[in-house]
Amino acid sequence: MIKKALTIYLSIYLIVGGFLAVRSAGAQDDRVYTLAVLDLEPNQVSLGEAKGLSDKLRSEMSQLISRGANLKAKYDLLERTQIDKILDQFEIQNIGCVSDSCAVEFGKMLQTDRILVGSVSLIGETYSVIARIVDVASSKTVASADRQLRGSIDDVMVGLLGEVASELLLVPVKKKSNKKWYILAGVVVAAGAGAAAMGGGSGGGGETPVVNLPFPPDRP
């Protein structure tokens, strides 16, 4: 009987322990990365409009970072004045950087952990904003966004750039999972089976106890 009880205990421990391990694996990185946002490269968009859109994107990202909720990573955003001041020392303009190699070189000059590069384009009546955050040390893209909008540049300023900032910085909202219910049901079944096994082994000869499972969550 003791052996059976131990087996049941270990089964429940492994189920619950595995669930906790999955949760801890998704924990947020506590490191704070410095992030520089370069101006978007214009394509069929005026330089002035591109700079204005870049400032708006930087502002949207700054607001999300200041809230600090549901972020993929923690960031300390470099001010535009800081970026321009450093680039002026190298006699380089804050524009025209879209490749990964260029992003890494700019990141090293700015002494930042990560850097955002991208472009804003107008094709016909559709605006396209493509941006990505590149890790300077590894040269890898850690987040990217690719959004299009058919309309005016005002619509890009008011709505599209907020979507780009959210896609770059926020953890995607996942569908509600029934995993917790299935784990709970497994624990209940294991416990009921253990009780039945111990009852049978003691020579009681009684009926097998009924295991009442929790009701499953409503499906969407």
Closest CA to 60 of 173, 159, 171: 159
What confidence score (pLDDT) does residue 95 get?
81
Please give the full DSSP string across the chain, using - where no structure is assigned: -HHHHHHHHHHHHHHHHHHHHHHHHTPPP-PEEEEEEPPPEEESS-HHHHHHHHHHHHHHHHHHHHH-SSBSSEEEEPPHHHHHHHHHHTT--S----SHHHHHHHHHHHT-SEEEEEEEEEETTEEEEEEEEEETTT--EEEEEEEEEES-HHHIIIIIHHHHHHHHHBPPPPPPP-HHHHHHHHHHHHHHHHHHHHHHHTT---PPPPP-PPPPPPP-
The per-residue pLDDT for 14 is 42
Q: How much is the pLDDT for 189?
A: 46
pLDDT score at 193: 53
Q: What is the pLDDT along the chain (220 residues), one digit of tens a residue?
A: 555 544 554 455 444 454 444 444 444 568 999 999 999 999 999 999 999 999 999 999 999 999 999 999 999 999 999 999 999 998 998 888 999 999 999 999 999 999 999 999 999 999 999 999 999 999 999 999 999 999 999 999 999 999 999 999 999 987 665 555 455 545 444 555 555 555 555 454 555 555 555 555 665 5
User: Whole-prediction pTM value?
Assistant: 0.69
| CATH number of the 32-169 domain | 3.40.50.10610
